[in-house]
């Protein structure tokens, strides 16, 4: 069943699994997205020589992770973090991490949140998570 994410003008996010999007989410002021979760084929062998693999997880240095964002995205994140404690906290945690795991639930949730509130374009969170 499809999964949808609807964001209202105030940034409130509603996610739901239904056959079709709710009609009210097509109205002005709403941003509607279909969430597509990729499933890796069980026949696809893991990439053993990927330098970002560490104990079966995809690991990046802080610098490598931040370079996954475009320069305008990084500048916008730092600028908005000055007045947004939640974003400032997320960036502080990234700065303090020894490495960034693209499989970490907090990293995934943070990127999803950045996309949901419009700081990243639709699809960018998935692009970043997929390297």
Torsion of CA 13, 8, 65, 129, to 10 degrees: 60
pLDDT tens-place string over residues 6-32: 899 898 999 888 877 888 887 888 888
pLDDT tens-place string over residues 25-54: 878 888 888 776 655 555 655 555 555 554
* Domain positions in the chain: 1-38, 52-131
pLDDT tens-place string over residues 60-97: 888 989 999 999 999 999 998 898 888 888 889 899 98
Sign for the CA dihedral angle at 74, 77, 81, 82 comes to: positive
Residue-level pLDDT at 125:
92
């Amino acid at each position: 069943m499809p999964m949808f994410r609807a964001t209202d003008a105030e940034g409130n996010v509603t996610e739901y699994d239904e056959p079709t999007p709710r009609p009210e989410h097509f109205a002005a002021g709403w941003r509607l997205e279909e969430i597509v979760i990729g499933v890796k084929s069980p026949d696809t062998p893991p990439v053993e020589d990927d330098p970002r693999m560490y104990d079966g997880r995809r690991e990046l240095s802080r610098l490598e992770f931040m370079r996954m964002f475009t320069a305008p995205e990084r500048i916008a994140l730092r600028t908005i973090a000055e007045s947004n404690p939640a974003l400032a906290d997320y960036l502080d945690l990234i700065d303090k991490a020894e490495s960034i795991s693209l499989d970490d639930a907090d990293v995934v949730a943070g990127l999803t949140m950045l996309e949901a509130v419009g700081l990243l374009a639709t699809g960018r969170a998935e692009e970043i998570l997929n390297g």
